[in-house]
């Protein structure tokens, strides 16, 4: 396969993406009230209403998504570091098969709330535009940051936004 | 052409037009790409060969991406 073919394919993909993005609404933005989430967790049900008054970091992930896997150690670190200040992570799994999620969790331990949404209704409500997607929700229940994807270099900025949100009442 | 035949033709044309847009109407959402992300869904056959080819593109041509959907397709990974 030569470069020209790759270019052609990328052009086709770009075209597909533009038509795709034209047909759907843009993702939820900072300042918008966070949609309600009420989903089964590993043990108990997890709802955002039950975490009111806390700073919540909602993360959408799936077992097949590489960057999601990269973000798990980061989220473990955040949860243990800021729990005492009223910080909770809710990682919503969007795998169609629960088995896939369980296998992933056996391999990559999660020391934070994990919820399961095989139908993806919550992702639709949050208007998720990429995997992983994360939303930082302030104590007032409003979205502070909507973040797409995960790279190692995103760590610093995300953590700064979290400490900022924890500091504000 | 008699009217019923013309109506039938129009109906057929309409149905054909509707069928054409059928694929474009419901693109998979970012979280619905689990099956597309499977290794067997990539264009190439041999995984090792694919990695080798990708390495060449990366090092010689500074080209990367477009091989499977491990990340969510938002172009941000």
Residue-by-residue pLDDT tens, chain A, 169 positions: 565 666 666 665 565 555 444 444 456 888 899 999 999 999 999 999 999 999 999 999 999 998 999 999 999 999 999 999 999 999 999 999 999 999 999 999 999 999 999 999 999 999 998 899 999 999 999 999 999 999 999 999 999 999 999 998 7
Whether the pLDDT of residue B70 is over 60: the answer is no
B5 min Cα distance to partner chain A (Å): 36
Q: Cβ contacts (< 8 Å) between A158 and chain B: which residues?
A: none
Question: Does residue B75 sit within a domain?
Answer: no
Going A72 to A74 to A77 to A78, the CA torsion angle's sign is: negative
Confidence of residue B41 (pLDDT cuts 50, 70, 90): confident
Whether chain A has a CB inside 8 Å of the CB on B77: the answer is yes
pLDDT at res. B65: 67
Q: Name the token pair of B24.
A: 């474009």
Measured between alpha carbons, how far is A63 from A104 in angstroms, rounded to an integer? 6
Nearest to B34 among A23, A62, A149 (CB): A62
Confidence of residue B63 (pLDDT cuts 50, 70, 90): confident
A131 min Cα distance to partner chain B (Å): 4
User: pTM of the predicted model, to two decimals?
Assistant: 0.74
**Domain of B30?**
3-61
Whether chain A has a CB inside 8 Å of the CB on B45: the answer is no
Whether chain B has a CB inside 8 Å of the CB on A15: the answer is no
Measured between alpha carbons, how far is A58 from A145 in angstroms, rounded to an integer? 10
pLDDT at res. A21: 47
Question: Does residue B67 sit within a domain?
Answer: no
Measured between alpha carbons, how far is A101 from A94 in angstroms, rounded to an integer? 8
Size of interface A-B (CB pairs under 8 A): 86
- What is the count of structural domains for chain B? 1
pLDDT at res. B58: 83
Question: Does residue B19 sit within a domain?
Answer: yes
Question: Does residue B13 sit within a domain?
Answer: yes
Give burial (CB, 10 Å; 0-12/13-18/19+) of A107: exposed
Task: Show Cβ contacts of residue A165 under 8 Å, excluding neighbours closer than 6 positions.
Answer: A55, A136, A138, A139, A144
Q: How many helices (H) and strands (E) does chain A have?
A: 5, 7
Q: Name the token pair of A66.
A: 């590489």
A12 min Cα distance to partner chain B (Å): 11
Asked if residues A58 and A37 have their Cβ atoms less than 8 Å apart, the reply is yes
**Domain of A119?**
26-167
Task: Show Cβ contacts of residue A40 under 8 Å, excluding neighbours closer than 6 positions.
Answer: A46, A115, A116
Whether the pLDDT of residue B44 is over 60: the answer is yes
Whether chain A has a CB inside 8 Å of the CB on B34: the answer is yes
Please list the residues that pair with A60 across neighbouring strands. Answer: A92, A133
Whether B53 sits inside 8 A of A96 (CB atoms) is: no
Confidence of residue B72 (pLDDT cuts 50, 70, 90): very low
Question: Does residue B66 sit within a domain?
Answer: no
What residue in B sits closest to A61 (Cα-Cα)? B31
Q: For residue A121, give the CATH number of its domain.
A: 3.40.30.10
Whether the pLDDT of residue B66 is over 80: the answer is no
What residue in A sits closest to B34 (Cα-Cα)? A64
Question: Does residue B26 sit within a domain?
Answer: yes
Q: Note whether ipTM > 0.85 here.
A: no
pLDDT at res. A22: 45
Q: Cβ contacts (< 8 Å) between B37 and chain A: which residues?
A: 64-65
- Share above pLDDT 70 across residues of chain B, in percent, rounded to a whole number: 69
Nearest to A65 among B38, B57, B70 (CB): B70
Whether the pLDDT of residue B39 is over 80: the answer is no
pLDDT at res. A12: 59
Question: Does residue A105 sit within a domain?
Answer: yes
Whether B74 sits inside 8 A of A149 (CB atoms) is: yes
């Amino acid at each position: 396969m030569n470069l020209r073919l790759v270019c052609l394919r990328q052009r086709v993909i770009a075209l597909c993406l533009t038509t795709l993005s034209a047909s759907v609404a843009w993702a939820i933005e900072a300042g918008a009230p966070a949609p309600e989430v009420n989903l089964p967790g590993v043990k108990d049900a997890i709802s955002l209403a039950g975490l009111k008054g806390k700073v919540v970091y909602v993360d959408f992930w799936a077992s097949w998504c590489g960057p999601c896997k990269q973000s798990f150690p980061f989220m473990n670190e955040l949860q243990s570091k800021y729990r005492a200040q009223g910080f909770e992570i809710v990682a919503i799994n969007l795998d169609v098969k629960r088995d896939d999620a369980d296998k992933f969790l056996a391999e990559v331990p999660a020391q934070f709330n994990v919820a399961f949404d095989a139908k993806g209704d919550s992702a639709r409500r949050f208007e998720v535009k990429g995997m992983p997607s994360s939303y930082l929700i302030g104590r007032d229940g409003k979205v502070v940051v909507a973040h797409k994807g995960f790279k190692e270099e995103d760590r610093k900025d995300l953590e700064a936004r979290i400490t900022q949100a924890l500091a504000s009442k | 052409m008699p009217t019923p035949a013309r109506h039938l033709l129009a109906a057929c044309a309409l149905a054909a037009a509707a069928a054409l847009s059928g694929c474009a109407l419901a693109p998979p959402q970012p979280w619905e790409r689990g099956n597309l992300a499977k290794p067997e869904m990539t264009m190439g056959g041999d995984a090792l060969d694919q990695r080798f080819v990708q390495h060449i593109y990366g090092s010689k041509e500074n080209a990367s991406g477009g091989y499977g959907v491990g990340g969510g397709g938002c172009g941000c990974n």
